[in-house]
Structure formats: C-alpha cells, structure tokens
Structure 1
Amino acid sequence: MTERIAIADEVRAAVASGRPVVALESTIFTHGLTRPRNLEVAFDAERLLRDAGVTPATIGVVAGVPTVGLSHDQIEIIEAADAGTVKTGIRDLPVAAVKRLHGGTTVASTALLAHRAGIGVFATGGLGGVHRGASSTFDESADLVALSSIPVLVVSAGVKSILDVPATLERLETLGVIVLGYRTTRFPGFYVRDSGCVVDAVDSPQEAAAVARARDGLALRSAVLIANPVAVDKQVDPALHDRVLADAEREASDAGVRGKGLTPFLLDHMHRGTGGATLDTNVAVYLGNVEVAAEIATALVSTP
C-alpha cells in the first residue's frame, strides 16, 4: 500500500480483516459499453458482489490518482461524456498522475493496483492477447506481460475471438501464467464458449483457490487465469460468429485497417453484423465472471 494510491476505507478494512474482496476494472464502463448501460453494468457488478458477502473494489484513476474502491460518485465522474477519460494501462499511470487525468484502468493496470492494495482476486470480461499477424506487427496486449509478474487470480472469459487465441495461449505459457478452464477443458473465446483450444480445468471455487495458494507457497510471481465460459444461452451463435468475423477481417484487409485501429474496427463490425448480440454477450460474460470471482474470493479467505 502506498500514499500514491487512494484506497477506500471499506476496501482497506476488508483486506486487513481477511474478508473477501474482488477487484473490478473500469474500462468496461469508460470505454467498453455504451451509455446508459455502462453504468447499469458497473453498479450491477458491485451489487452482485455485495449480495454474495464480498466487498467490491472498482479501480480507476480520478484526477490523476489511482483509486482502489471507487465510490458511485467517482464512477459517474470518470464515466461522464465530457470527462476526457483516457484508457489507462500501466505505462499510462505516471502520465495520468502528472496531467491529473481521469482514467479507465485496463486489465494490466487494474491487476497492478489491486495487488498493491492487497487484493488477490480480480474479475474482468476478456483479456487482451496476441493479435492476428503479430509475427510481423509484434502487436500484442500489455495484459500478457503484466500477468507474468503480478500474482493475482483473474477470472475472465478467455480472450476475444478476434485475436489469435492459440498464439495467446502460447505466450501465456512462455510467460509462466497459469491458465485453467473453469469446469471446462475448452478455452473460451469470449463471445463463444469454445475457442477450439484445450486447457486443464478446475472444477470448483475451492480448487481454484487452492491453486492460488499453491502458487503463493512456491513464491511464484505470475497470475492464475481462470477462464470461465459464457452461459450456453448467452453466447453468440457460433456459426453466425464465425461468418461475421470472417467478413470483418476481409473488410479490414480491403480497407487497409491495421494497428490500433484494427480492434475497434473488428468489434464494431461484429456488433453490427450480429444485430447487437455481441453487446448482450459482453454483459453476460462480465457479470458471470463477477459471480465466479466472488465464489473464489470467498474460498480463498476460508480455512484451507
């Protein structure tokens, strides 16, 4: 803990007393979802945790100050359309501090700040990963490197299927990140339950917590990634998903879209091509991961 990070009293007290806490990112409501659904989802996630007896710790940057445990007022401040809120990864935190910017924290920066505040479990939607064509562009998310050196347990729905999922899993293996499916040996592809890749599985919150304890007992510094697939009735129809993604990639190639512009281009095409189904799946993915994270956080603070 450090004076350069603001930690809400509620969160500080829960960590100090050994009660379960789950960290939540802020980019999902500052950059990921449209208004007004973004705020509804942010508050729904916190409500799910409280109903499960878990303290929520939504993380973001308020006027340059990394804050663990945003109040509802602070969430509304950094979400506002005129707030100038920037997407804030780890490398962006010092710049945001100097410029006193509002920031929505990414998976990487949320994991870092959660760990600094003593929080061991973090729920998100999906991770960033290796982009298709990365062998020539070297385009991959900073999330991967961050999780190689931050010992948190992250619950996600894998990585978005617009990325190179097999290459992402190879990088996670190289970086020493423990990857486990939650009650499945099929690594999820965010919008769909099965990306086509195989992983080892854990079958309960207790087993997931035991893996995290074993990692800590060995003094390993990498994250544990629990890949939780979206519910069957909430996934995008796999055939529709594959068809729309192929169309999106073809249009991006024809238009010469690459680099930072590629991901938003593909995601927008997926949203339009599925009639908005990807948005509904995004919300279902996130809230489902929050529920699983609550169970694991509770198991983690229980007597082994």
Structure 2
Amino acid sequence: MAYLAKYVLKGSRLAAFYKRGYSTASPWVFSEEVRLAKSEGKPIVALESTIITHGMPYPQNLETAKQVENIIRERGAVPATVAILKGQLTIGLSEEELTYLAQAKGVVKASRRDLAPIAAAKLDGATTVAGTIIAAQLADIPVFVTGGIGGVHRHGENTLDISADLNELGRSNTLVVCSGVKSILDIGRTLEYLETQGVCVCAFGETSDFPAFYTTRSGFTAPHRVGDALQAARVLHASRQMKLASGIVVAVPVPQEHAMDEKIIQEAINNALKEADRNGISGKEVTPFILAAVAKATSGASLNANIALIKNNAKVGADIAVEFKKLKNVDDSKNAFNIGSSKGAGKCTSNTSRHFHTSCSRRADESPLFSGDKNCGGDVLVIGGANVDRIYRLKEEGAQSPSAYLRKVVTTLL
C-alpha cells in the first residue's frame, strides 16, 4: 500500500489531482522518457520549442532538435523539449511529436500571456524562454537550455518593448543556459533590467565578457563568472538552499570557430532592423524576421552559428544538470533521516543541531522514492506515522510535552 500510494502520488500524471484535490485533469503531461527519468531521479534538461518553429527553417530545425536532444543524453541527462500540442502542455516530446512540430503551420509563440488561451482553444504552441521557464517550474526541472534570451529592445525606453523572458527570470529559480542576447537588442539595458529583477548573470568560461549570440563579446561585462559546469551547479545549489526566488543566467559564448565577425553581423542586423521597420513588423514577430533576414544576408553563416551555439549550450547545460544532481544527492543522503540514532539517553548522533520527524520536511526534488521496481532498495514510506520500539525522554529545561504543544497550537488557531 505504501509503495502504491507513493508511486501514484509522485510518479504518475495523477499527481496534480491528489495535490490539489479538485480536478482529475493534469495541466501538463510528461513524455514516457521524462516520466521515467523523474521516477528514477535522473537529471533533466528543459528545452524550448520556438527555436524549432520560429528559429530555423525545415529540415534544419528538426535535425538540430534531434541532435541537441541526443547531445544531452550522451552527457548523462534527459532532454525535455516543451510545447503545447492541441492545447496540452507537454514536457518532453517523442520523435513523432518533434517531427510534427517542425512542420506544423500556424503554431503560436507561447509566452506567459499566451499559455491559457492556447490551451483553452486546443491549439499548438511553441514555448518561448518565458513559457518554457514556467513549464520547468511546474515540473521541477532546474536547468533549461536555449539559444539566446529576449531582452530590452532598442528604443525600449520609449516603446517599453521588453521581453517577458526577463520578468520570468526574475520570478523563477531556474538556471538558464544561453549565449547571451542577440545584438538586435539593447544589451546594456537588458543587463540593467536583469539586475533590477534580481537575476544572477554569470559569464561561462575563462573571461567575464558577456556574449552577444553570434559573437563572443558584446562590449559588456557580466557581473559574475563561472569557470565550469561544477561551479555553475554550485551557484544553483546555493541559490536553492537560500530559497532565492529569482533565476540564474549562464551566458556561454559561441564556440570561437563558429563565431561571426562583429562588424559583418552588426551591419546585417542594422539592415534587417530597417527592413522590419519599413514592413511594419513589431512585437514578437521581430526576432524571427531578423533571424531569417540575417541568415540570408550572411549566406547562411548566421544559421550555422546558431546551430553550433545551441549544441554547445546543450553540452554545458547537461553537464550542469548532472553536477547539480550530484550535489542534491549528497544533500538528500545527509538529510534522508532527520532523526539521529540513539547513542544513549537523550543523546543524538549530530553534535551541531537537533532534528525532528522527517515528515516535517518536504522533499525538494519531488521524485518518487520507488522506481517501477517495487522490490528495489530505498526509503520506506510509513502511512500513519508510528515509531516502533523507541522511547523518547525530554530533558531540556522549558521543553513542552507533545500534547501540551499541540493544545497550544490548536488554541492559537482557534
């Protein structure tokens, strides 16, 4: 019974029903691969889907999506591409679903404001950085990989055209691996806005240069730097321990051999921006238009750089997810039982703090204690809360008996 309750509550799509208690329909579903990874406690990396539907043409978009997922698998993590299919928020896509999405027409870019309307109308939606962060939060996936995040658009001080990605980063605790922001944006104001939102921005690698998507440098310096995946995982781990309700950006420069000349890319972007203005293109349609125009102006070189950087980001993100899972496993093993084994009357194995019953502490990873094999070794779930063959004595001055403490709590609540 204990195994069944734990497996149903933690490992299946009925979890949301039992937690909320008012609906049998889950607002999201996992692919079988992601569901199994959740049940087995494997590291997972979230991936957005607008790069498939709006960032690249077919068939490069499908080929790249498959290659990125395979890179993540090869590094020891599990990919979870996020999209809305026929109104259902789906975390992790099968190969058939990826193929469908790569060729589908009329797919809506799905940011926070769009998620509910798309779901209600049972449409297809490709999640942006903001939309994917929301899904990652729902699924408790701490690491998310993308190409570049949105930002403050040029002349944003007048138009107030600011990507919802920045606000979402400010209210999530997700680590986002990207190659900075595109130079079609106002990078300086974007960094200032991220600071206002409390987002930790780290350059990845040997320098503190903040990258500009197609190029390794933007002319701006990131406020922090992480040298490798382990250091980035430690930053994420510390952030979670301190319960900071803001995200982390790890800005990874495009590999040098695929980086573009700054002058060439800037000229192509300026021309594309002028063309977009002449054609009256604005809002969320600007970025895909600019990407297509720049790819054409650079004879495909920018598309090659885009593909190279997302693959490199996938490697970095998977490595961070794996290292973060190791750090969490160490924590989980230390805190598996918050009550020390008795060495004598009134003594506990810990000499630094006193701990109480483990049920007072909610598991942070929300993963099942059992996998599909109910005979596997692991923790035991006790329904009813019984202590067997133990006698506890209170010896501290001023300590209250449990019954007295409960009476006080009930009186306070009433």
TM-score w.r.t. the length of structure 2 is: 0.70
- After superposition, the C-alpha distances for 1:30-62 in whole angstroms (9 at most, x for unaligned) are 111101111000100111111112111111111
Q: Write the distance in 2 (CA, Å) between the matches of 1:8 and 1:112.
A: 17
Matches within 5 A, 1:62-211: 62-82=85-105, 84-183=106-205, 184-199=207-222, 200-211=224-235
- Post-superposition CA distance 1:40-85 (Å, at most 9, x none): 0010011111111211111111110001111111122222244x32
Report what 1:48 is aligned to. Answer: 71
CA displacement at 1:259 relative to structure 2: 2.6
Retained in 2: the 8 A contact 1:30–1:79?
yes
Q: Quote the residue 1:21 is aligned against.
A: 44
- The letter for the 2-side match of 1:110 is T
Deviation at 1:250, TM superposition (A): 4.5
Distance 1:207 1:285, change over 3 A: same
Off by >6 Å, runs of 4+ in structure 1 = none
Instruction: List gaps (5 residues or longer) in structure 2.
Output: 1-14, 17-25, 331-414
The alpha-carbon distance between structure 1 residues 135 and 79, as it changes in their structure 2 partners (threshold 3 A), is: same
* Structure 1 residues 291 and 18, CA gap change in structure 2 (3 angstroms): same
Counterpart code for 1:215: S
Equivalent in the alignment of 2:388: none
CA distance in 1, matches of 2:100, 2:268: 36
TM-superposition CA deviations, 1:142-162 (whole Å, max 9, x none) = 000011111111100001111
Q: What pairs with 1:256-275 in structure 2 (closer than 5 Å)?
A: 257=280, 259-260=282-283, 261-275=285-299
CA spacing shift, 1:78–1:258, aligned 2, 3 Å: closer
Aligned counterpart in structure 1 of residue 243 of structure 2, from 219, 232, 235: 219
Report the counterpart of residue 248 of structure 1 in structure 2: 272
Q: What SS is found at the alignment partner of 1:32?
A: coil
CA distance in 2, matches of 1:85, 1:258: 18
Secondary structure of the 1:197 match is coil
Cα gap change, 1:272 to 1:69, in 2 (>3 Å): same
Counterpart residue identity of residue 155, structure 1: V
Residue in 1 that maps onto 2:305: 281
Q: Which residue of 1 aligns with 2:321?
A: 297
Contact kept? 2:152, 2:162, Cα under 8 Å: yes
Cα contact 2:54–2:288 (8 A) shared by 1: no
Paired residues in the alignment total 302
Deviations 1:208-233 (A, max 9, x none): 01101111111111111100000111
Q: Distance in 2 between matches of 1:14 and 1:144?
A: 29
Kindly indicate which of the two structures has a greater share of residues assigned to strand. Answer: 1
Normalised by the size of structure 1, how large is the TM-score? 0.94
Taking a change above 3 Å as real, the CA distance of residues 9 and 247 of structure 1, as seen in their structure-2 partners, is closer
Q: Structure 1: which 5+ residue stretches go unaligned? A: none
